[in-house]
Amino acid sequence: MMFASVIVSITASDVNKVFEYKIPEGLSDLIKVGHRVLVPFGPRQIQGYVVDIKDEVEYDAARIKPIIRALDIRPVLTPELIQLAGHLADHYIASYISVIETILPAALKSKSKKMLSLHSPGGEAELAWQGMNLPHEVEVKTLSASQLAALKPYITSGEVIEETVLTQHTKKKYARALKPTFAPRGDFGRAYKQLELLDFIEQHDEYVLLSEVLEHGYTSGTVNELVKKGYVRRTDVVVERDPYKSRVFEEDPPKELNSEQEYAYNEIIRAVEEDTAETFLLHGVTGSGKTEIYLQTIAHVLDKGRTALMLVPEIALTPQMVNRFKARFGDEVAVLHSGLSHGEKYDEWLKVRNGGAKVVVGARSSVFAPVENLGIIIIDEEHETTYKQQDRPMYHAAEVAKYRSRYYNCSVILGSATPSLESYARSERGVYTRIELNHRAVTRTLPETKIVDMSVEHRSGNISIVSDTLREAIEERIRLGEQTVLLLNRRGYANFQICQDCGHVPNCPNCDISLTYHKAQYSLLCHYCGYEDGVKRECDNCSSDEVTFRGTGTEKVEEILRDMFNTGIVRMDNDTTRRKGMHEKLLDKFEQEKVPILLGTQMIAKGLDYPNVTLVGVLNADTMLNIPDFRANEKTYQLLTQVAGRAGRHELSGEVIFQTYNPGHYAIDLAQGNDYRTFYEKEMAFRRLARYSPYYFHVLFTVSHETVQKCLEATTHIHQALVKSVTDKAIIVGPSPSPIERINNQYRFQILLKYKNEPNLLEVLHEINLHYNELYKKEKLSLKIDVDPKYIM
Ligand SMILES: Nc1ncnc2c1ncn2[C@@H]1O[C@H](COP(=O)(O)OP(=O)(O)OP(=O)(O)O)[C@@H](O)[C@H]1O
Ligand SMILES: [Zn+2]
Ligand SMILES: [Zn+2]
């Protein structure tokens, strides 16, 4: 008799363990590690994942229940991914099942519905059933409350049975197709069209899609005639949903590498040839041709018969990157795009799982792509915070990449013009192998950058958001037919509404944050919970009608720019890109129609590579400096350097202008001088003094509840638990209210643990997590434990 260890699909912490089931004789050949199975669990039937198979168990084998059935022909998880799930659950204090369901596409997660059916016909139950005119089986959800109440006694008595039925998120997509029968041809008379169509269809051995036939100009009438005469049969075929299918990608041959690129490439190939799990930090200035190195490294890995994983911060923002991969590798690429539907994602996932794609390109969650035999993992723009998931499990893609690389003995490349301090510090210590690219691939030089002091500008009488220097520079580009990219890290119209008599600013009733004015909707919006309120005609506080707007967002700046330059502007922010595919549409418009100005929030800062962009302006370089986070300087430096990097990437040389009220600030000053090294040293000195990462590791505990009282109680307990269990070298900061004290009517309190070496820490964290998950159920308290947090808010 064989037994399976199964992780069941229930998220409560007390079932965060492995259960044993018998494998029925008939299934013993089929069920493998990694299979999804249906198992009995208490009164229910639920989905689970087989993580181990063995021939004996510790318990009384007679009392162990059998697996009901297997849900797949082939296992969905590989042993490698199961092992990875275990590691992540442990490292990030998450439940095993939550990690497994993060690894798999949503389409494979179980979704259940409750069904009722009549068990014993005859008698009262059947009368009641028929009285309600119910079909043989009915979903509980579709019944009215009174119907359900009427059926209740029969459910209790067992005459009506309640069953949980698993459903899937996705169905296969079918399309109408035509199949030739190759029947011997009779006389077609004058029906030339029919003959022509039959020739066309018979060119296809298997089938041809009806849509394709119609596209070729044949009518459904002609098709019908052929069907009637028996030459053609109608059928439905399963189609793969490839969202890039209808596009043509121009082939892109490899470029000849310059000497810096060549050196980097050879270093990486050395590790590939040695089959070592080495991590490279590819520190290359913007436009230095990192992508070309990725492409050629991948080509080499594919030649060796291995596979590659390429991560980008956000696919929607980098359509050019996807195009370059498609152009180089064609159908061998699977793009796991977060904008796809569940079904489309599942199709791409399946293609990867079946070995139909050797290169996977995607955002954070693609790091779990079920590729086997990995030869290289690349994380582009490694400093981006999107690589860390903000929900449980709060994993970082680089951690996953490194774990997988050890399994496959393959290398990892972390690429960036502005590496995170943590990664750069590791390269200093030799943990990562650092490779530098100091020159641009095409122009060789970086754009010249100017700083404009906005307080001087205001004093000299220009109170506009556009300085004279920037205005003149934009005017010149418009004259020359070149393009400008402008960054304003603030969406909406005005920032907020304010009463000029008492200073009152309308706040969100659910969150401790002021509401942002959006002109297009003529309303005040909360950017945290989505709350919407009408614009105030008088002050809520003192009833004065002297209410006005302050601050400037992208929507308003667009208006200002239109007045100032009277020219075309593409605006990109969360408001204009909400609809699917809008990022790409707007960028295409900007490129193809040579629109003079692209204005946007930080979503325009990275990846764009347009030869005609010769000017980049940052309207307010200070916005990031004011975020309540110890990484504010680092984020400022990164954002400014990345956006500056969009200028003059090809033949035309570029110019950059930073407008700021803090011209002397080192993050701004050193971004202007493109001096990463000095920035790193200065920032490290600050981190050392303030005892922050990378000198210390962090764990952030955030407790939320609708009352302050409960938050305080819980954080105090956690504080006590920590004091008891960590060494006196660790530092515990808090409990204190989080920087945003209330979101969506939940108060938030936090504790930050800073430590260097705590051998028992994982155990302690797991205990705290377990304890509070119990409490959570009873008191609606929520605790998030963020290991290596990217935000301290
Ligand atoms: N060896 C080369 N010869 C000619 N052109 C090159 C070469 N390498 C790269 N390029 C071109 O230089 C431009 C910049 O390269 P790429 O986009 O790869 O830089 P990057 O380092 O990834 O930039 P960023 O970090 O700013 O996004 C691209 O248009 C690319 O096609
Ligand atoms: Zn007022
Ligand atoms: Zn809100």
Beta-bridge partners for 613:
483
Q: Is 249 domain-assigned? A: no
Which residue range(s) make up the domain with 743? 697-787
Q: What is the pLDDT of residues 631-647, one digit of tens each?
A: 989 999 999 999 999 98
- Name the nearest CA neighbour of 48 among 60, 40, 36, 34: 36
- Name the nearest CA neighbour of 1 among 52, 37, 54: 54
Same domain, 314 and 422: yes
415: left (phi over 0), alpha (psi -120 to 50) or beta: beta
Taking CA atoms only, the protein residue closest to ligand 1 atom 29 is: 609
Contacts of 168 (CB under 8 A, 6+ apart): 107, 108, 111
pLDDT tier for residue 14 given thresholds of 50, 70 and 90: low
Q: What is the pLDDT of residues 194-242, one digit of tens each?
A: 989 998 888 877 788 888 888 888 888 899 889 888 898 887 776 655 5
For range 103-116, the mean pLDDT: 73
Cβ atoms 654, 285 nearer than 8 A: no
For range 156-173, the mean pLDDT: 64
Q: Which of 413, 609, 676 to mutate to test the pocket of ligand 1 (most atoms within 8 A of CB)?
A: 609
Domain count, the chain: 6
Measured between alpha carbons, how far is 443 from 385 in angstroms, rounded to an integer? 30
Same domain, 665 and 702: no
Contacts of 245 (CB under 8 A, 6+ apart): none
Same domain, 279 and 302: yes
Specify the pLDDT at position 403: 96
DSSP labels, 22-44: EE-GGGTTT--TT-EEEEEETTE
Same domain, 150 and 28: no
Q: Which of 292, 640, 650 to mutate to test the pocket of ligand 1 (most atoms within 8 A of CB)?
A: 292
Specify the pLDDT at position 519: 72
CATH code of the domain covering residue 57? 3.40.1440.60
Q: Which residue's structure tokens are 């799990």? A: 277
Same domain, 362 and 267: yes
Reduced 3-state DSSP string for 331-385: HHEEEECCCCCHHHHHHHHHHHHCCCCCEEEECHHHHHCCCCCEEEEEEECCCCH
For range 423-435, the mean pLDDT: 97
Same domain, 383 and 278: yes
Q: Ligand 2 mean position to 346 CA, how many Å?
A: 54
Same domain, 204 and 294: no
Contacts of 472 (CB under 8 A, 6+ apart): none
- Name the nearest CA neighbour of 571 among 486, 630, 652, 651: 486
> Which of 654, 686, 718 marks a domain boundary?
686
Same domain, 779 and 717: yes
CA torsion, ordered 463, 508, 784, 769, to nearest 10 deg: 150
Ligand 1 within 6 A of CB of 642 = no
Q: Is 381 domain-assigned? A: yes
Ligand 3 is an ion; residues with CB less than 5 A from it: 508, 510-511, 526, 528-529, 531
Specify the pLDDT at position 534: 84
Please name which ligand lies nearest the alpha carbon of 530. Answer: 3
Same domain, 430 and 460: no
Q: Is 521 domain-assigned? A: no
Which ligand 1 atom sits nearest the alpha carbon of residue 381?
A: 25
For range 104-111, the mean pLDDT: 73
> Which of 167, 195, 213 marks a domain boundary?
167
Same domain, 192 and 282: no
Cβ atoms 67, 24 nearer than 8 A: yes
pLDDT at residue 245 is higher than 60? no
CATH code of the domain covering residue 348? 3.40.50.300
Q: Is 441 domain-assigned? A: no
Q: Residue 79: is the preceding peptide bond cis (ω within 30°)?
A: no
pTM, entire model: 0.80
DSSP labels, 242-276: -TTTT------PPPPP-HHHHHHHHHHHHHHHHT-
Q: Is 703 domain-assigned? A: yes
Measured between alpha carbons, how far is 77 from 32 in angstroms, rounded to an integer? 10
Q: Is 292 domain-assigned? A: yes
pLDDT tier for residue 271 given thresholds of 50, 70 and 90: very high
Q: Is 508 domain-assigned? A: no
Ligand 1 within 6 A of CB of 284 = yes
Ligand 2 is an ion; residues with CB less than 5 A from it: 499, 501-502, 504, 539, 541-542, 544
What ipTM does the predicted assembly reach? 0.94
Same domain, 584 and 608: yes
State both tokens at 442. Answer: 């095409």
For range 450-462, the mean pLDDT: 88
For range 770-790, the mean pLDDT: 84
Contacts of 669 (CB under 8 A, 6+ apart): 451, 663
Beta-bridge partners for 572:
600
Q: Is 252 domain-assigned? A: no
Same domain, 644 and 591: yes
3-class secondary structure, 120: coil
> Which of 108, 123, 153 marks a domain boundary?
108
